[in-house]
């Protein structure tokens, strides 16, 4: 029997509408897979078993009547940053211990309105602050991919058909998996893990400086951060309000297009959401990119970039050329200032947004001798180390005497970064091709990363510019490194031109093929 969890959204949608399978069967298969795998992978912090089965049953009743909606009966995972009515919503932080909102985020409400089924809440870095999912109060999500190493052995004869490659000379080469646990990236690490390990058909995620695209690249999945304002932020726990944007992580480009169509909308409850028609993104898949002008920014060749990342980038350029696109060298001169500017703007906004968590209205409360003491004890106990670090940085750059020197200067740099992109796009560039990450997945509790936060922050070096400029960006799996780990390429587009990203992303996907981990869990 076909493993139902291996179906893409598009495949499952077809089978559901043809009544070859039911949503209850599909949902049951995912719940069983979660029960088996989650103790190893820690992708879900809450599994909503009863709710999922009830939603699936309701979808089956609608499907039986021929009333299928866009995502009817499709089981999804929801990042713990999205408010879900009556269900655990803690941004994977102890400070929100026990919080169950009385309202639903606009994005998740849109998905339920389109018939999707909720499997549970997904792990993430605390308050979306991290690039490895190691800052979660619930412990790290684990990447389903593992490093592999080549081993050779001399065989007396050629054994065609055995696992591994056997040369005519009788030398057999195999790849063996390493036991080291790897990070799935962050902050949407649980979302990326769940999608990559077949624990949901797709997942919601958020991206403040790369938190959709980086984990997608590290897990062989597709992640798109849409234009700022394309998806409502209402009901999403805020990190940095001028940078945060919701988007999907999915198995392939088509599934990401299907998901974004349902997630996006204008919302009167969010003044930053933009009142523009939401296209049927799926129609962009398969369209030619002949004549499209693809920019290659010279500033993205950063010092110390591994040769295999450069080789992957060159391969992506070749695929674009082969598909008929014109390759154009471009300059984004203020790129080198993006990461330091981001790590001033984002912590400043986080400092302001997280001031509300004081133990008074909801979540954790640690008693104190007076209200100030209660505030201090609650926040000291409730926030993790990385969140405290960013609150302190943010409070510092907003303080008297430093606001002009740091925060205002960072905002000026942000405007220059945005202007760089505007000039390039005004010159006829349709999309920009770059690497998605500076490396493949690294180990859990990696000493270099743990002892040097700046090295962790450098994981966002290729992604933060997109958030600073409010642009759309997509990460598509494009190859594997020498140890068999997935690597991704990033495409950056014009504001509200996600369709072009889906068109070009599908070209990369078609050329590179699909990447799936070897099941060990």
- Residue 87, domain CATH: 3.90.1300.10
Same domain? For 216 and 331 the reply is no
- Please report whether residue 520 resides in a domain: no
Rounded mean pLDDT, 124-140 = 97
Same domain? For 136 and 153 the reply is no
User: What whole-number distance in Å separates Cα of residue 165 and Cα of residue 173?
Assistant: 5
* Domain boundary pick from 259, 282, 305: 282
The percentage of residues in the chain with a pLDDT greater than 70, rounded to a whole number, is 95
- Please report whether residue 32 resides in a domain: yes
Same domain? For 116 and 154 the reply is no
In whole numbers, what is the pLDDT of the chain averaged over residues? 94
Domain assignment of residue 327, given as a range = 285-512
75 pLDDT band, cuts 50/70/90, is: very high
* Both structure tokens of 219: 């897990």
Same domain? For 244 and 153 the reply is no
- Strands 165-166 and 293-297, sheet pairing: unpaired
Q: Which residues contact 91 (CB under 8 A, 6 or more apart)?
A: 80, 81, 124, 126, 127, 128, 237
Told to judge if 273 belongs to the known catalytic residues of this protein, a careful annotator would answer no
* Domain boundary pick from 261, 282, 303: 282
Same domain? For 303 and 378 the reply is yes
Same domain? For 479 and 463 the reply is yes
- Please report whether residue 321 resides in a domain: yes
- How many domains does the chain divide into? 3
**Residue indicated by tokens 């030398």:** 171
Told to judge if 211 belongs to the known catalytic residues of this protein, a careful annotator would answer yes
Using CA atoms, how far residue 451 sits from 132, 369, 445, 455, in Å, is: 14, 36, 10, 9
Q: What is the pTM of this model?
A: 0.94
Same domain? For 167 and 126 the reply is no
363 pLDDT more than 90: yes
Which among 15, 79, 121, 261 is annotated as catalytic? 79
* Domain boundary pick from 263, 282, 301: 282
- Please report whether residue 265 resides in a domain: yes
Same domain? For 41 and 134 the reply is yes
Told to judge if 187 belongs to the known catalytic residues of this protein, a careful annotator would answer yes
Within a 10 A sphere around the Cβ of 280, how many other Cβ atoms? Answer: 12
Rounded mean pLDDT, 246-268 = 98
Same domain? For 332 and 443 the reply is yes
159 pLDDT band, cuts 50/70/90, is: very low
| 497-516: pLDDT as tens digits | 999 999 999 999 999 999 99
* Cβ atoms of 227 and 470 closer than 8 Å: yes
User: What whole-number distance in Å separates Cα of residue 321 and Cα of residue 412?
Assistant: 36
- Please report whether residue 453 resides in a domain: yes
Cis, bond preceding 187 (omega within 30 deg of 0): yes
- Please report whether residue 461 resides in a domain: yes
Same domain? For 459 and 407 the reply is yes
Same domain? For 125 and 191 the reply is yes
The CA dihedral of 411, 415, 416, 421, to the nearest 10 degrees, is 140
Strand partners, 120: 47, 77
Cα-based angle 151, 157, 159 (whole degrees, multiple of 5): 65
174-178 long-range CB contacts below 8 Å, 24 or more apart? 174/150, 175/148, 175/149, 175/150, 175/151, 175/484, 176/148, 176/149, 176/151, 177/146, 177/147, 177/148, 177/518, 177/520, 178/146, 178/147, 178/148, 178/149, 178/483
Rounded mean pLDDT, 37-43 = 98
H or E stretch including 61?
A: helix 49-64
Q: How many helices (H) and strands (E) does the chain have?
A: 16, 14
Rounded mean pLDDT, 347-360 = 96
174 pLDDT band, cuts 50/70/90, is: low
- Please report whether residue 518 resides in a domain: no
Which among 59, 93, 131, 187 is annotated as catalytic? 187
Which among 23, 93, 131, 211 is annotated as catalytic? 211
User: What whole-number distance in Å separates Cα of residue 198 and Cα of residue 203?
Assistant: 11
Same domain? For 358 and 271 the reply is no
Within a 10 A sphere around the Cβ of 103, how many other Cβ atoms? Answer: 14
- Please report whether residue 519 resides in a domain: no
* Cβ atoms of 312 and 487 closer than 8 Å: yes
* Cβ atoms of 87 and 100 closer than 8 Å: yes
């Amino acid at each position: 029997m076909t493993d139902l969890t291996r179906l893409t959204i598009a495949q499952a949608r077809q089978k559901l509408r043809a009544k070859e399978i039911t949503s209850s069967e599909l949902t049951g298969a995912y719940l069983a897979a979660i029960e088996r795998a989650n103790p190893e992978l820690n992708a879900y912090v809450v599994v909503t078993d009863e709710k999922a089965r009830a939603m699936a049953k309701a979808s089956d009743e609608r499907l039986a009547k021929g009333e299928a909606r866009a995502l009817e009966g499709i089981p999804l995972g929801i990042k713990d940053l999205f408010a879900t009515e009556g269900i655990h919503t803690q941004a994977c932080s102890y400070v929100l211990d026990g919080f169950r909102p009385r309202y639903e985020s606009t994005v998740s409400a849109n998905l339920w309105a389109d018939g999707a089924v909720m499997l549970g809440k997904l792990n993430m870095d605390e308050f979306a602050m991290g690039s490895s999912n190691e800052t979660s109060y619930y412990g790290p999500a684990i990447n389903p991919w593992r490093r592999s190493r080549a081993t050779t052995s001399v065989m007396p004869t050629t054994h065609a058909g055995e696992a591994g490659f056997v040369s005519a000379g009788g030398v057999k080469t195999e790849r063996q998996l390493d036991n080291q646990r790897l990070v799935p990236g962050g902050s949407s690490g649980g979302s990326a893990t769940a999608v990559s390990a077949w624990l949901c058909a797709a997942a919601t995620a958020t991206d403040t400086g790369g938190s959709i695209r980086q984990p997608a690249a590290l897990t062989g999945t597709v992640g798109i951060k849409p234009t700022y304002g394309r998806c409502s932020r209402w009901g999403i726990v805020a990190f940095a309000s001028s940078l945060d944007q919701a988007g999907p992580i999915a198995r392939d480009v088509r599934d990401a297009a299907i998901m974004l169509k349902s997630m996006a909308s204008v919302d009167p409850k969010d003044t930053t959401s933009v009142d523009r028609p939401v296209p049927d993104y799926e129609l962009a898949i398969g369209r030619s990119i002949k004549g499209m002008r693809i920019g290659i920014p010279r500033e993205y060749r950063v010092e110390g970039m591994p040769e295999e990342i450069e080789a992957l980038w060159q391969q992506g350029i070749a695929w674009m050329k082969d598909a008929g696109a014109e390759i154009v060298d471009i300059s984004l001169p203020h790129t080198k200032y993006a990461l330091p500017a981001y790590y001033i703007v984002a912590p400043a906004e986080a400092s302001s947004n997280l001031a509300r968590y004081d133990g008074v209205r909801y979540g954790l409360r640690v008693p104190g001798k007076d209200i100030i003491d209660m505030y201090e004890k609650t926040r000291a106990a409730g926030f993790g180390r990385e969140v405290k670090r960013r609150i302190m940085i943010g409070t510092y750059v907003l303080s008297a005497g430093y606001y002009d020197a740091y925060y205002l200067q960072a905002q000026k740099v942000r405007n220059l970064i945005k202007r760089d992109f505007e000039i390039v796009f005004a010159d006829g560039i349709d999309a920009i091709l770059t690497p998605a990450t500076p490396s493949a997945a690294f180990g859990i509790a990696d000493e270099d990363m743990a002892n040097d936060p700046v090295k962790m922050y450098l994981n966002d070096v290729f992604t933060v510019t997109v958030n600073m400029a409010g642009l759309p960006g997509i990460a598509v799996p494009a190859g594997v490194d020498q140890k068999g780990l997935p690597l991704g390429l990033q495409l950056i587009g014009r504001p509200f031109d996600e369709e072009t990203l889906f068109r070009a992303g599908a070209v990369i996907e078609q050329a590179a093929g699909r990447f799936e981990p070897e099941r060990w869990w």
